Structure 1
Amino acid sequence: MSGPLEGIKVLDLTSVVMGPYCTLMLGDMGADVIKVENPSGDTTRYLGPAKNRGMGSLFLHLNRNKRSVSLDLKSVDDREILIELVREADVFVHTMRPQSMERLGLSYRELKEVNRRLIYCGMYGFSKEGPYGERPAYDDIIQGASGIAAAQGEVSGAPQYLATVLADKTAGLVGLSSILAAIYRRELSGEGQEIEVPMFETMVSYTMMEHMYGKTFSPPIGSSYYSRVTSSYRKPYKTIDGYIGVMIYNDKQWQSFFNVSEQSNLQDDIRFSNITERTKNIDFVYGTIEDIMATKTTNEWLNILEEADIPCTKINTPDSLFEDPHLLATEFFKSTQHPTEGDIWEMKFPVNFSGTPTSIQRHAPNLGEHNEEIMKAIKKNGKCQKVKRDSVLK
């Protein structure tokens, strides 16, 4: 078996990170993903270190388990090829603004006439139902618009983007879960449907889950910021020789911490008595931990805290993750041979399925690598007879 989604066919008209991350997960879980690129290719082909032009590091990670076909959707012939692919597809995913899809004649209204079982997922910046519906958007724009940058600014002193493309990848995962739900519904009803995954609304929901806080109530009974996560003391703590991450959360863990850190004088301090009091006094609580952590080495604290079953960790860097004992034991990073890029490191799909395990079936494709293969499949089915074969051989 090649994964739980074996037999599902996906047309992937996405680029950059959000959409490709969603379809990467679909492909890793066994779906047959056809990546439809314009003749110049996905822009991430040209980002980051590369041995060959058009095969940048970010592209390699986001686009394995996919086939690439190069089509100019403004061409009548190439658009007809896409329509023939739609006839056999289960899922159609795009990251273009809906107005662009209308101009191309590729809206859900038009494609459902070709395939009523089609699940059509549009992923873009803002819902087409609102006044921002025609605005372009990228991760930085959505981090700023959704309140994430301002919330991070409560810690750093000025609005700041997180050092990861959080909005893109989070919206990609929401798109994935929505597509899976629609597949399940179609199995019951026999009908496809349109899904809209707007980054802005997705990330406002994501951010405001905790940052509604006092404004949950009407009238408000406090600030909108969740003070525990915006405290400037919420950070890795300095030890004698490095840094450590510590998260003491429930009452039992706090009592254990007081015992193993020899701070019994704090056990009766009202500011540590329960989660409500600790949250009200969060700067004092975190500041106290900071002072205590500075008294021992990182390894000393790791041994003490692990023995007491208190959540803790060394602070990894992206480089040190390659030597992490847990990731080594689970073989998370794997060295594979790419046909044109040579030896590359891949990451495992993070979820384990006991009955339908995932696997890497295909390397990240070169631009238009599967044009001829896909065209032959269309012609074998006796379809698209009017289309010239050369139109997809860019």
Structure 2
Amino acid sequence: MSGRGKGPLAGVKVLDLTSVLMGPYATQIFADLGADVIKVESPQGDTTRFIPPGPDPSRGAMFLNANRGKRSLAMDLKQPEARAALLRLAQDADVFIHSMRSRAISRLGLGYPALRETNPQIIYANLYGFARGGPYRDYPAYDDIVQAASGIVDLQARLSGGEPTYAATVIADKVAGLTGAYSVLAALYARERTGIGQEIEVPMFETLVSFAMVEHLCGSLFVPPEGPPEYPRVTSEARRPYRTADGYIGVMIYNDKHWQAFFDVLGNPEWSRDPMFASMRSRTHNIGKVLAKVAEVIATRTTDDWFALFRQAQIPAMPITSLNDLLHDPHLVETGFWQERETPCGTLRFPGIPTTFSETPGAIGDPGPALGEDSQAILAEAGFTADEIARLLESGAVKAAV
């Protein structure tokens, strides 16, 4: 079932020293798209292995999904023999990616200079909490910490009565992981044109600040500021799913065409001629009042009534769907998004690859591997002799699955 060699990244070799979720999400994308991702773990394993549920206590559900399609090489990189073996593996690798703090990876002697000396064409990616050029460089960082530091928690507080809350998804990890993935792919493309490898830095904090400020920089784009850093439409207390006569509905009446269609299905009532509805600018200036009026109107009809009207008027609207509902969503079922597999860990349901390629489609690989499952095979492929592998195993520099 392995997806290696199936996809636009077929033939790309990745040494993956990431753990938890940010880095593993980036390298999951590489594996889904055909790269040979070698997950280099400590003898204790990635901590995410041990997060339940799952019948195997060393491979919980999150680990099995985030590390699908990868191979596991367990090494004690504090031992010189393990470091030397990893550098030898790097000689023909395309990508080296890690999620340790800058000081920690340097202590292991595995900073960019060491990898560049081994392989001048390697793409070396640092994924960590804070850029190494600033005073936060050595702070530990996890998703909650970066949500707090990046403005996301403060934004959430605007919608929860002033009480700071985290987004109900590990948004910092995943946005930084996606950023890491596209950064590595851009560097691989540049190498194809120039033949030159390079080092990449993807700090979670700066990535999330950039992410938040896409819309929220607003008036503070200008110097001096023409307004605060806040996009008022999305922080308005009135921006929420609308209550209907019998439930809730998600509706986005956004541009002028949507608004005119909305007024038309209502019979163009007198209040629709209020100047605050006239343009994007006037609606934004009066967003609280505008959304409150919509809420008042939506409450007068049932959810099904509104869906019929909104589909007719081509106004964006969808039901409020739970995660459990998504497991049986008719659109996802028909498109084949959910993929069930018989594996040594039982029958597993994987979310599919969300992107499609007409000529080089990827494939979902095997579930996240057992710790050290592929250690011996990976070393043998790299030209290590049986005696060399035996010595590495005996010394504890390398661990193989039991």
**Shorter-chain TM-score category?**
over 0.9
Instruction: Check conservation: 1:33, 1:66, Cα contact below 8 A.
Output: yes
Unmatched tracts of structure 2, length 5 or more: none
Unmatched tracts of structure 1, length 5 or more: none
Partner residue of 2:75?
71
Q: How do residues 1-394 of structure 1 correspond to structure 2 at under 5 angstroms? A: 2-156=6-160, 157-339=162-344, 341-379=345-383, 388-390=392-394, 391=396, 392-394=398-400
Instruction: Check conservation: 1:266, 1:272, Cα contact below 8 A.
Output: no
Give the direction of change, closer, same or farther, for the CA distance of 1:92–1:227 in structure 2 (3 Å limit): same
- The alpha carbon displacement at 1:382 in A equals 10
- The alpha carbon displacement at 1:191 in A equals 1.4
> Any idea what the Cα deviations from partners look like across 1:204-245, whole Å, max 9, x if unmatched?
111112221122222222222110000011111111222110
Q: Percent identity?
A: 48
Give the direction of change, closer, same or farther, for the CA distance of 1:262–1:98 in structure 2 (3 Å limit): same
TM-score, normalised on structure 1?
0.96
C-alpha distance in 2 between matches for 1:225 and 1:114: 47
C-alpha distance in 2 between matches for 1:130 and 1:150: 23
Instruction: Check conservation: 1:258, 1:266, Cα contact below 8 A.
Output: no
C-alpha distance in 2 between matches for 1:317 and 1:385: 49
Instruction: Check conservation: 2:28, 2:69, Cα contact below 8 A.
Output: yes
Instruction: Check conservation: 1:213, 1:225, Cα contact below 8 A.
Output: yes
> Any idea what the Cα deviations from partners look like across 1:13-52, whole Å, max 9, x if unmatched?
0001100000000110111000001111111111131111
SS at match of 2:96: strand
Give the direction of change, closer, same or farther, for the CA distance of 1:365–1:385 in structure 2 (3 Å limit): closer
C-alpha distance in 2 between matches for 1:9 and 1:266: 62
C-alpha distance in 2 between matches for 1:217 and 1:315: 37
Q: RMSD of the alignment, in Å?
A: 1.7
- The alpha carbon displacement at 1:325 in A equals 1.5
Give the direction of change, closer, same or farther, for the CA distance of 1:51–1:262 in structure 2 (3 Å limit): farther
C-alpha distance in 1 between matches for 2:228 and 2:82: 54
Task: Supply the AA of the counterpart residue of 1:197.
Answer: V
Task: Supply the AA of the counterpart residue of 1:31.
Answer: A
SS at match of 2:382: helix
| Matched length | 393
> Any idea what the Cα deviations from partners look like across 1:49-98, whole Å, max 9, x if unmatched?
11111111111110001001111101122222211111111000000001
C-alpha distance in 1 between matches for 2:383 and 2:390: 10
- The alpha carbon displacement at 1:363 in A equals 2.5
C-alpha distance in 1 between matches for 2:357 and 2:322: 28
C-alpha distance in 2 between matches for 1:275 and 1:303: 26
C-alpha distance in 1 between matches for 2:115 and 2:366: 28
C-alpha distance in 2 between matches for 1:189 and 1:73: 32
- The alpha carbon displacement at 1:111 in A equals 1.0
C-alpha distance in 2 between matches for 1:188 and 1:3: 21
SS at match of 2:327: helix
SS at match of 1:388: helix
